[in-house]
Structure 1
Amino acid sequence: HRAVVIAGNADERLAALDALSEGRSTPDALTGTVRGGDARPVFVFPGQGAQWLGMGVELLDECPVFASCMAECGRALGRWVEWDVVGVLRDGGGGWLSRVDVVQPVLWAVMVSLAAVWRSCGVEPGAVVGHSQGEIAAAVVSGGLSLEDGARVVALRSRALRVLSGRGGMVSVAASVGVVGEWIAAWPGRLSVAAVNGPAATVVSGEAGALDELLVVWGREGVRARRVPVDYASHSPAVDELKERILADLAPITPRPHTIPFCSAVTGRPMDTETLDAAYWFTNLRETVRFEGAVRELAGRGFGAFLEMSAHPVLLVGIEETLEQAGVSGLVVGSLRRNDGGLRRLMTSLARAHTHGLAVDWTPLLPGGHAVDLPTYAFQHRRYWL
């Protein structure tokens, strides 16, 4: 059994310790039991959906590792974009949130930098998996792409996507891919299964008008569905017109052997990262995201801990449902949350991982801290003062 107390001052520390001693659950007193299975976690990198105005700003000011990696990502992106990634995050206007050619590179930089923070705290991934454009960050962290090549892929591919803006959309629905396939058969050639995120989590992509009609049907039948905030139809035939441009733009990249296993959500299986060439990155944008299959594959290989590297959890529910259906008792943890994106939130996520068995080195986040002597059993008759 493990416990972690998160506190900013003595009063908070004492209150959390009181709650811990009384068995009360609070956000600042986390408890858990060390789980079995592979102790190395899977780092998970989502596609779009995690972005929010102000994300990463607190962490830029509070975490040197995050700030340093964001600066590196900014330099890598600088060859391809005319804006500064840190400047965009600090921009209070939010106009960039509607531009795919800004949102995707910014999310890429945030995900790569969050992974650097987790690793600086001693949490090393046993594998990585990405969802849609999140695979670009996963490839960089795995060692399969250099930071510079990752920047090229995300910047030029998202720029190409602007051609499709205003001509389509995507909808997330709480239903299995089999059921969704039967529904969308009524719109042949106009709607496609874009992503399978879990046993009851599917995304549909296609023409805006067809999606409107589908939502009316689902509303009438009481099916839970929501629009994904994009105005284009990736993972559908609409992407085909971008093929030659993407292949040409990304032809110069040089994929490398991975240092961390890379599980593809295109194939649902581990891949040799030396095959992550321009053709792969077009396929990644065009074909269905088989994220559920990738999670099942990883669970079957003994992985039970999944850590999402994002500014807000997007895939946790799908992962939890997939593990549950596979009969795996797993650990699924995010990094930051919408409007709660500072160091304290990240430390809470690290604490949850630690209480369930992952080894965490707190030194990089608490450089002035030191270990203190505490009682190890109930009848050790000594006083300890805080």
Structure 2
Amino acid sequence: MAYSLATGRAPLTHRAVVRGGDPDALRALARGVPHPALHEAVAHREPRTAFLFTGQGAHRPGMGRALAAAFPAFAAEYDAVCAAFDVHLDRPLRDVIDAGPELLQRTDYAQPALFAFEAALYALYRACGVHPGHLAGHSIGELTAAYAAGVLDLPDAARLVAARGRLMAALPPGGVMVAVRARADEAEKLLADASGRVALAAVNGPGAVVLSGAEDAVADLAARLGGGQRRLRTSHAFHSPLLDAMLDDFRAVAATVTYRRPSLPVVSAVTGRPEPDALATADHWVRHARDTVRWADAVAWLDGAGTTGYVEVGPAAVLGVLTRECLAADSPADVIPGVRDDAEVPDFLDALATLHVHGVAVDWPVAYAGSTARRRDLPTYPFQRARYWLDATPPAAASGHPLLGDAQPAADRPEVRHSGVLSLGRQPWLADHVIGDEVVVPVAALVEMAWRAAGPGAALTGLTVDTPLVLSGATDVQVVAGPDGAMAIWSRPSGQAGEWTRHAYAEAAAPAGAAPAAPGTWPPPGARPAGVDYDRLAGAGFRYGPAFRGSPRSGATRARSTPSWRCPPGRPSRPAPTGCIPRCSTPPCAARCWPSRRTGCGCRSRCPA
């Protein structure tokens, strides 16, 4: 059912998604109350999404195993990226990822592993039709963002990332990184006293910084700042002076790489703004390895660009938390975290659900690829209907005719115009003639108007419908009759000065002789009731109310069959002065469908009479 709803129904503005297998969430949706598994929102007209690639520290053993088993698009990219790294590592990268935490704690393995996972997850989002407007990454995540934007091809990206991890891992051990609750300007004032032994490694929020460097100097500076602090589990003091020894060797590798301008805007956390030219240089990536990660500035730029949704592309819910802290408390932007260890597939599907309800187009058949889901018949929308028409019926036109007023000769040509207004207030019985979801003026009413315009004694010789007359409100109608008996029926919304729409063309002529005599008895001998299956008609889109539910009878001989209709009780069969009564002379397709009961032709009329 979920697959049928996602792929077979138009996405409306008010949207809700419930993950399968959670009846409590369905009940919450029905009651209109919140639930953790219920995603509900009004879709943005123009959603603007940014993908955020997580930095080192989010990696974990076995990451990507569940996603690779569930989604071929993820598995294909994951295998390709891991294979590209294998020529630069001393053992296969997938073996390292699946082996356990010991090897993955080494930065020469952690950085390639994180890059491979995030590149594959980005490919999966793209395969599901989610295309970001901006990219950004935290530390090593910015290299993944550059690869996603086409700055680096896969062989060069693998070579550069592997060299970065290998050179950092070769540095002497020592140094620490400590997260401190403090403002960046407070930390920068105290850095001068550290004699170059401590650096501001990251500004993760308005009140969140990371200090990196020699252990004693970092501990002293953190204590002086006085805020809450937490030591990070890292192998080296990244983004600090302790990395200076590897920068020249890293520059030598970076200089051999072929760079291209990004195909998507990448907001660099080195400067906090897009750097399309700098990203395509070796100098940028050397600075990137050593300088402060200014994540708060990058998020501020994205927020100023009108971003409505942030998607963390990573193996843990880390960068999303930092991003939320950078946004205003009342920001309407949605922040979607990375996928967790024990819930990779559910978390990814929840991310697609959140993107969908906020207006992002999702290619759901790709998301369901490999599953057993298939299309099912669904019930129609349970739209609420409320009637607001006044019960009092306005008086009929002065002519006494319920549809048209008196004839008005044209001043500039030999034509006569008959005007009127159709509405559910003036002709409430029209509400009983619904085709699909629209009130359609029956053809018999058009015949009645043409008959009225033809004048006394004239006979209609033909009527051709060009366009159905759909009644969406009060509608002006006009029948223009020429001297040669030709007539056209026009309409336009009441109170508007727009163009008229022609609905029908009719022809009339003087009668050739006396009208044929009425039969002596009616219905003729042998006539029998021919029931109309109104439920079947409603299933085909023809919904007839009481005003159009007459009682059909059929008089049959060997030569022909003749249908007739009896009006519902309480409705006159021929109230003067109209010549043809639309309510009672309009059969609900009975004249067309009745012969099929005898011949089995199986026809289904698609034109309402």
TM-score, with length taken from structure 2? 0.57
| 8 Å contact from structure 1 (residues 56, 341) kept in 2 | no
The superposition leaves residues 242-298 of structure 1 with CA deviations (integer Å, 9 ceiling, x where unpaired) of 121101122211011221111111121112257433222111011111121112112
Q: Does 1:22 align with 2:16?
A: no
**Which residue in 1 is equivalent to 2:332?**
329
The superposition leaves residues 77-121 of structure 1 with CA deviations (integer Å, 9 ceiling, x where unpaired) of 122112222222222x32123200000100000111111111111
**Which residue in 1 is equivalent to 2:120?**
113
The alpha carbon displacement at 1:14 in A equals: 3.9
**Which residue in 2 is equivalent to 1:72?**
80
**Aligned partners of 1:371 and 1:237: how far apart in 2?**
62
| 8 Å contact from structure 2 (residues 53, 314) kept in 1 | yes
Identity of aligned residues (%): 35
**Which residue in 2 is equivalent to 1:138?**
145
Q: How does 1:136-285 map to 2 (within 5 A)?
A: 136-215=143-222, 221=226, 223-272=227-276, 275-285=279-289
Q: How does 1:357-368 map to 2 (within 5 A)?
A: 357-367=359-369, 368=373
Partner of 1:364: helix, strand, or coil? helix
The worse-fitting range, judged by mean Cα deviation, of 151-160 and 243-252 is: 243-252
* 1:232/1:183 CA distance change after superposition, 3 Å: same
Larger RCO of the pair (alpha carbons < 8 Å, separation 6+): 1
- Aligned residues, how many? 370
**Which residue in 2 is equivalent to 1:317?**
321
**Unaligned segments of structure 1, at least 5 residues:** none
Larger radius of gyration: 2
The worse-fitting range, judged by mean Cα deviation, of 305-314 and 265-274 is: 265-274
**Aligned partners of 1:265 and 1:174: how far apart in 2?**
20
| 8 Å contact from structure 1 (residues 54, 90) kept in 2 | yes
The alpha carbon displacement at 1:53 in A equals: 2.6
The worse-fitting range, judged by mean Cα deviation, of 299-308 and 116-125 is: 299-308
| 8 Å contact from structure 2 (residues 105, 235) kept in 1 | no
The superposition leaves residues 153-212 of structure 1 with CA deviations (integer Å, 9 ceiling, x where unpaired) of 110011000133522121112222122234545423121111112112211111122233
Q: Considering only aligned residues, what root-mean-square deviation do their CA atoms show, in Å? A: 2.2
| 8 Å contact from structure 1 (residues 130, 265) kept in 2 | yes
TM-score, with length taken from structure 1? 0.89
The residue type equivalent to 1:344 in the other structure is P
Which of 16, 30, 50 matches 1:3?
Answer: 16
The alpha carbon displacement at 1:6 in A equals: 0.9
The alpha carbon displacement at 1:370 in A equals: 3.0
The residue type equivalent to 2:354 in the other structure is R
**Aligned partners of 2:335 and 2:123: how far apart in 1?**
19
The alpha carbon displacement at 1:228 in A equals: 1.8
| 8 Å contact from structure 1 (residues 197, 291) kept in 2 | yes
The worse-fitting range, judged by mean Cα deviation, of 234-243 and 68-77 is: 234-243
* 1:369/1:196 CA distance change after superposition, 3 Å: farther
The worse-fitting range, judged by mean Cα deviation, of 240-249 and 53-62 is: 53-62
**Which residue in 2 is equivalent to 1:348?**
350
* 1:128/1:273 CA distance change after superposition, 3 Å: farther
**Unaligned segments of structure 2, at least 5 residues:** 1-13, 386-534, 536-609
**Aligned partners of 2:250 and 2:379: how far apart in 1?**
59
**Which residue in 1 is equivalent to 2:446?**
none
**Aligned partners of 1:247 and 1:324: how far apart in 2?**
38
Higher strand share: 2
**Aligned partners of 1:276 and 1:228: how far apart in 2?**
31
